[in-house]
Amino acid sequence: MKYSSITLLTGGLLAATTGLAADTSPAATAPGFWDDPVNHPLMPLYALSFFAAIVAILVVVVCFSLLRVLNVLINLTAKERAEKQGITYVPPSSFWQRVVQKANASVPLAREQDIDLGHDFDGIRELDNHLPPWWKWLFAGTVVWALAYLVAYHLYGNLPLQQEEYDREVAIADEQMRARKAAQPVEEIDVNTLKYTADAAALEKGKGVFANNNCGSCHRADGGGNTIGPNLTDAYWLHGGGVQNIFNTIKAGVVEKGMPAWGKTLSPQDVRDVTFYVMSLQGSNPANGKAPQGEIFQETQATTDSTAAAPQASL
């Protein structure tokens, strides 16, 4: 009694909530629930339904415990009565035991000889057990499921297959990426007209990029080079020095030699700033720097005609 009135109450509240939510939804300006749950106008209603649901669950639990106690009492009196009449009392099997027996339909131990196939291997006997009903129903269920799946996904195609679902999600992600890029356009950097400036702010940013992307793991924290990457502080370059070459090397990487293509993960501004930072390390001559590799680079050539000659010279 108590329980049903509570469920009615919860059901009513939930209906009221959804009804109210439907009423308010046309106002597009209303803030979403998760924007500010505490001050949301429907919060008291939600909280009330939540507590009503908790109370309902508690009532159900209490009812079940009471039923169990009742069951024990009934069994006790039945046992007493049987003893008075001199009959041996066999307690009735519980609901759960009956479910398990129905699902397995196993032959009781006492009647095992009925299904004995007569094959005995070192005391291990072979019994002619059938497949348990739960297994057969599961199998039938998969057949029904497969048919429904075939019809819904392949014959009528009104539900999306994995490939379609994937394509759809990729399209949504592409759209989001386009929107994000449109919202904050990235200024492309023309490497051919780029000039090195020892601008303190840019160098500071470049230092941050160098540190945050672990350039130091292959070039050492001070750029002196280690077993993986070359020394970035000397005048010798594998791929040419000067702002254009260094920018291009950092952007495109030398993937087959283990230098990642940073243009894929860093913004053009970050590549420029870290290029300036690497250039600022020139001649810093850190202790135990790696021996020079590559060709000595004539900076004069690049600075006198920085727009045209340098990039083509070594690319």
Interface ranges with ligand HEC (CB under 6 A): 210, 213-215, 217-219, 228-230, 232, 237-239, 246, 249-250, 254, 257-260, 262, 274, 278, 294
Residues 306, 198, 300, 250, Cα dihedral to 10°: -60
CB of 232 to ligand HEC, least distance (A): 6
Nearer to ligand HEC, 6 or 271 (CB): 271
Query: Between residues 16 and 299, which has the closer beta carbon with respect to ligand HEC?
Result: 299
Looking at beta carbons only, is 9 or 254 nearer to ligand HEC? Answer: 254
- Closest distance between ligand HEC and the C-beta of residue 147, in Å? 54
Shortest spacing between CB 271 and ligand HEC, in angstroms = 8
Q: 6 or 209: whose CB is closer to ligand HEC?
A: 209
Give min distance, CB of 234 to ligand HEC, in A: 9
Closest CA to 241 of 212, 202, 282, 209: 282
**Contact partners, residue 203, CB within 8 Å, separation at least 6:** 273, 276, 277, 280
Q: How far is the CB of 221 from ligand HEC (least distance, A)?
A: 12
Q: Under a CB-based contact definition with an 8 Å cutoff, are residues 232 and 249 in contact? A: no
Tokens describing residue 239? 């791929």
Residues near 234 by beta carbon (within 8 Å), at least 6 away in sequence: 285, 289, 292
d(CA 109, CA 301): 97
Which residue blocks in the chain are alpha helix, DSSP H? 2-24, 43-84, 95-104, 133-149, 162-183, 200-212, 216-219, 242-252, 268-280, 299-304, 309-314
User: Least distance in Å: CB of 40 to ligand HEC?
Assistant: 46
Please identify, using beta-carbon distances, which residue of 132 and 263 lies nearer to ligand HEC: 263
DSSP state, residue 258? T
Which of residues 45 and 238 has its CB atom nearest to ligand HEC in the complex?
A: 238
